[in-house]
Amino acid sequence: MNELRCKVLIIGGGPGGYVAAIRAGQLGLDTILVEAGRLGGTCLNVGCIPSKALIHAADAAHSLREPQALNAIGLSIGRPELDFAKTIGWKDSIVARLTGGVGALLKKAKVRTVLGSAQIVDGKTVIAHADTGESRIEAEHLIIATGSEPAELPALPFGSDVLSSTESLALTEVPGSLAVVGAGYIGLELGIAFAKLGSRVTIVEALAKILPLYDQELTQPVARRLADLGVETLTGAKAISFAKGALKVAEADGKERTIAADKLLVAVGRRARTGGFDLEKLDLTMSGPFVRIDDQCATSMRNVWAIGDVTGEPMLAHRAMAQGEMVAEIIAGEKRAFDSVAIPAICFTDPEIVAVGLAPEAAKAAHGEIRVGRFPFRANGRAMTLQDDEGFVRVVARADNNVVLGIHAVGAGVSELSSAFSLALEMGARLEDIALTIQAHPTLGEAFHEAALTALGHSLHI
C-alpha cells in the first residue's frame, strides 16, 4: 500500500471539490483529490452541462417544427429529421472536453489526483482504492465534497424503464411517451426538452403547483408554455406504481388513473451522498441528512470541512464552487466567511426563471413595507425581435431606503441576466443605483432598469 501525505485531502471531484483543489494548489498547499467516478462530478457528467446541451438541441429541433414562427420572419423549410444518437454524441463531446479541462487545471495547480473510491479511517486518514492499487493518505485538513444523488421513491425504484435524471440523459432514442414524476426544476427542464424532441409528456406532481420553490407569478408563464407544448400536467396527484408501460396515479380528487408511458422519469429531488465512504467514523454533527457546517464550512470536527450538496440546500454547483474556494483560502490563513445573500437560482425551463434574493412575500415578512417594480418583456424591443416576449423582470426593495432585497425574472434567455442581478444584491444596490445605470439598447437588460424605475414610480416605457 502506498503511503501519501498532504496538507489538504479532498473527497469528491465535482464543482466544489475540484475548485477547492485548484485554489488550494494555487495557494501553495500540497493537495490530493480523490474522485470515485469522473472529474467534474454530477454537474459536468450527468447534470448541469449535459442537460443544458439536450435542452439546446431540443430548442433547435422545436424551432424548426414551428412553421408559423418561421413564416413570420420569411422562412420556409421542410420538416427536419433528428438523429438522436448523434445528438447524444455531441452532448458527450462537450462533457469530455470540460472534464478533460478540469484534469488539466488540476495538474497545472500541482494537485495530485487519485481516481478511485475513498474510505475514511479518521479525520486525518483516508484509504483510496484505485485501479493502480491502494493508497493510505494522511492529511492535516479533510474536505468532504461528495455531492448528492437522485432521490428514489420506494414504489418506483430505478431500473429498466424507470429512470433517474442520469439515465434520461443517456437514452439512445427519444421515447414515444414519457411520464415525469416531480414538477421541480429537474423534472420540468427534462420534460420540456423531451416534449420538444417529440415525446408525448405527462407531468405528475404531488403538490398543488409546479415548481413549488418559486412563487406563482414566476411559474404561470411556464404553465402556459407546458400547455402550448401539449404537456399534460397533473398537480395534487400521487404516483402509485409503474408496470408494463403504465403509470398508475391517484389524482387530486382521489380517483385512480392509468397513464401510458414508454419511460418513466422520477425527478423528486436529490439527497446528500453520505454513504459508501465510512463518513460515520467521523461522528460529525448532522442537520437531518446533511453534514452541519458553520459560515466557514467547518464541521463539528477540527480541520474537517464540508462543502456543496452534502451540506444541504441550495444544492447548486455555483454554491459549491464558492464554498470550495473559500475553504481553501481559510486553510491557507486568509479570513473568509460565506454570505449567501446573492446565490442565484435558475430554472432552465421554457421560459427560463431566475431568482436572486427574497420574493415579495418573504421580503415583506422580513422587512415590513416594500416596493415592487415589474417590467414586461412585451414592452421590450429586444424580446420582440427574438420572437419571444413572454415574461417580465421584477425588483423587490425596502420601502424606507430602497435597498434591493430580491430580483426575479421569467422569460427567454433570462439566465444570462443572473450575473447582473447577483452583483446588484452583492453590492447592496438601491433602486436608484439600478435606475441610474445605463443599459445598452436594445437588450433584455433594459427590463431590469425599467423594473427599478417602476418601483420608484416613474417607468418610462409602460
Catalytic residues: 441
Reported for 45-48, long-range contacts at CB under 8 A and 24+ positions apart, including other chains, are 45/95, 45/99, 46/165, 46/166, 46/169, 46/170, 47/165, 47/317, 48/317
Cα dihedral value 123, 128, 129, 135, nearest 10: -120
Contacts of 157 (CB under 8 A, 6+ apart): none
Dihedrals phi, psi of 345, to nearest 5 degrees: -110, 130
HEC string for 336-398:
CCCCCCCCCEEECCCCEEEEEECCHHHHHHHHCCEEEEEEEHHHCHHHHHCCCCCCEEEEEEE
Amino acid at 23: R
Q: Do 119 and 129 contact (CB within 8 A), yes or no?
A: yes
Helix (H) or strand (E) holding 71: helix 67-72
Instruction: Say which residue the cell 428514489 belongs to.
Output: 152
All cell numbers assigned to 374: 415589474
All cell numbers assigned to 9: 485531502
CA atoms of 15 and 39, how far apart (whole Å): 9
